[in-house]
Structure 1
Amino acid sequence: MLLAKVWRGVSGLAAATIAKSVGQELTKRIYMHMGLQKTGTSSIQVMLASSGKALEDFGYFFPNLPVPQTERSSVWTSPFRHNCLAATYADFHSTFQPLTAPEHTVLMGAMRSSKYDPILSAEEFSRQLDFSRIARGLAGFELVVLIYLRRQDRYMESLYNQRNKILVSRCDTSFLGDSILTIDDMRQFIQVSGYDKIMNFHSLLKRIENDLKPISIYVRDFNRLSLRGGDVCDDFCSLINVDIDQMSRPRTEANQSIGNHVIASINDTFMSSGREAAKEMMSEINLRMSQGEDFSGDYKILSDGDRQSLLDEYANQNDELKRDFGVSFY
């Protein structure tokens, strides 16, 4: 199989396309947005889910999951529903409900018979270890992969913050204690959760390339200085040649952070007054967040020295990333 590498700019910004000659034209193309987590994926999914008519005008659709035969969580019909499809192929622990075999067959048939090209979007796709499982599940389709990367130090801090936010939303105090908001705790979370296997981005992209064999891979740096218009939704639409002005943008960031000062305050309550007091405080914060109060803020963990040391760990891999996929981080 011939592999041709073509570097091209998107409005003067770096983007990479890897084009492959596949020998024969397949009948249907899938645009597969693979995340990563904490790279504006939720905002993109909200935009896609609320812009059905605009997408059709440009030849795309954002597939619904089949009507379930059994009770499903609210995710099934939400903008984040394709994570359930990713969970169907997952070779890691996913918290999303997978499709049954009949449901998977119905979804594949709907995508294949549509006159529009489907766009799938799920952070869980990028967590896959063996991408050939996804390739088998999507056999018969021509794949175009779109993926956003986030510099490793920022990615770790953002993932850790997201973990803390989720546990606060569940009023789960298991993460609280002396080690919270420390580098050691963050690194342990990254390792236990398997994200360390993603953070060598060059290796990740090579696995995607070798296992999925997409006809194109679009790789973008999730940084306002790199994104078209400084916005991930604008940038994504430019990749698929859709007019952003015809799309329905999210009114606010779809997955906001929670500041370290909030976590520290909860932990102080936990340490001084106990588990139930901390749970009560979490419940109050969750209520106020649901009413629109902003609890975001700084969530940095790394000092300048620690940050540079971490980046040094990934220097060689990031050099390979720039060489082979045309992406360098700000």
Structure 2
Amino acid sequence: MFFECEGFKVKKKAILHIGRHKSGTSSIQKVLSENDSILEEYLFKYPRGSFYKGYAHHNLAVSLRRSVTNKLSSKELDLLVKKKSKELDLIKLKENEVLILSSESFQNSNPKVIRKVFDESGFDVTIVCYLREQVGYIASAYNQKVHAGDYDKKFDEFFDGFELDYSKFVNSWVCEFSNVRFRLFDRKSLIDGDVVSDFFKSVLGINDVLIRSADNNNSLSRKYLSFKLMFNMKEKNILEEQQRKKLYVGLAQMSLNDDTGVFRASFSMADEIFERVCESNNLISTKYLENGVLRLSKGGDDSLFELSDNEFLEIRNKVLGI
């Protein structure tokens, strides 16, 4: 459980990258997964195994979400903590090697539970989290929710149920961990204008290796977001899994060459967000952000592209190869 060092026990070290969503997490995870030799050279380990799914450690994170742990009794929670700690113990680390775990689903976990899991396994943990300004964040989050699943509600309804103030989230992690690093997800503030380069250089301290990221979660253009929303309303339950994947990839590729623009929150919605989070953003920026200030964008045209029934069928048949 512990490394021995001249007669006393030294905690193992871990970096836990918790997201947030829509802040380049998939790009970071993919590059970490593909560069074992570089990480090993610098004494980092990005493990596979039971925790690992789709370039990241989503299986561990999902099993520790609040939606799971909040339903457990104290005894059941203790058993879960011990089980996950034992699974962590199975990860073999060399002397002085630092464990890296990453999943944006950790943002939905109770930090108290996460701390217990790592304490039980003898880890000294550094939490790493990127924060994105909320006007762009909510539009991107809506885009991804429609794109990746069956969500069929309009943007206004999504906005009404979305937590925009980061204060509670930030404070919950800071209260449980002594080393929490918050960085701004903004191209102007990231090292080399790239989140992967920023993570490798600012978090891992790997300065002599420049690894550029690819966008692994391409957003839909206004036109194809409108199509996918219509599709979810009409036909979301009729596709097989292979067709769903084909639809996801195809719409993203078609969006790259589409000129209808990026879906954004409206000017009025941006103003409302400003009123709700401006003060807390300033406090978080001053106290915690390492590389910038949470400045909100001004919003734009939130209207979806109008598609006729014939246009809808044409896109549907094209992307599904019908």
TM-score (structure 1 length as normaliser) = 0.70
Structure 2 distance, partners of 1:79, 1:86, is 13
User: Paired residue for 2:136?
Assistant: 154
2-structure distance, mates of 1:278, 1:256? 24
Equivalent positions of 1:34-73 (< 5 A) are 34-66=18-50
Could you tell me which residue of structure 2 aligns to residue 286 of structure 1? 246
Rate the CA distance shift 1:133–1:294 in 2: closer, same or farther, 3 A: same
- Inter-CA distance 201–244: structure 2 relative to 1 (3 Å threshold): farther
2:59 alignment partner AA: C
Equivalent-residue separation in structure 1 for 2:245 and 2:94 (angstroms): 46
Does residue 28 (structure 1) correspond to residue 16 (structure 2)? The answer is no
Deviates more, 1:284-293 or 1:130-139: 284-293
- Alpha-carbon deviations, 1:87-123, whole Å to 9, x = none? 23221269xxxx9965751332425666511011110
Q: Give the fraction of aligned pairs with identical amino acids, expressed as a percent.
A: 21
The residue identity in structure 2 corresponding to 1:43 is S
In structure 2, runs of 5+ residues without a counterpart are 1-7, 70-79, 296-322
Determine the structure 2 residue equivalent to 1:136.
116
* Contact persistence 1:58–1:242 (CA under 8 A): yes
Q: Which secondary structure does the structure 2 equivalent of 1:120 belong to? A: strand
Amino acid at match of 2:157: D
Task: Tell me the residue number matched to 1:311.
Answer: 274
Give the aligned residue type for 2:44.
Y
- Which position in structure 1 is the counterpart of 2:284? 321
The alpha-carbon deviation at position 63 of structure 1 amounts to 1.4
Q: Measure the CA separation in 2 of the matches of 1:207 and 1:276.
A: 37
Mapping 1:1-330, distance limit 5 Å: 26-66=10-50, 76-80=52-56, 82-92=57-67, 104-111=85-92, 115-128=96-109, 130-139=110-119, 140-167=122-149, 172=150, 175-176=151-152, 180=154, 182=155, 184-188=156-160, 191=161, 195-196=162-163, 199-211=164-176, 213-214=177-178, 216-239=179-202, 240-243=204-207, 245=209, 247=211, 249-250=212-213, 252-267=214-229, 275=235, 283=243, 286=246, 289=249, 293-296=253-256, 298-326=261-289, 327-330=292-295
Matched AA of 1:108? D
Residues 279-307 of structure 1: per-residue CA shift (max 9 Å, x gap)? 69x95993583598342564434222321
Q: Secondary structure at the match of 2:60?
A: helix
Structure 1: tracts of 5 or more residues without a match: 1-23, 67-74
Aligned residue type for 1:150: R
Distance (Å, rounded) in 1 between the aligned partners of 2:286 and 2:227 = 44
Residue in structure 2 matched with residue 8 of structure 1 by the alignment: none
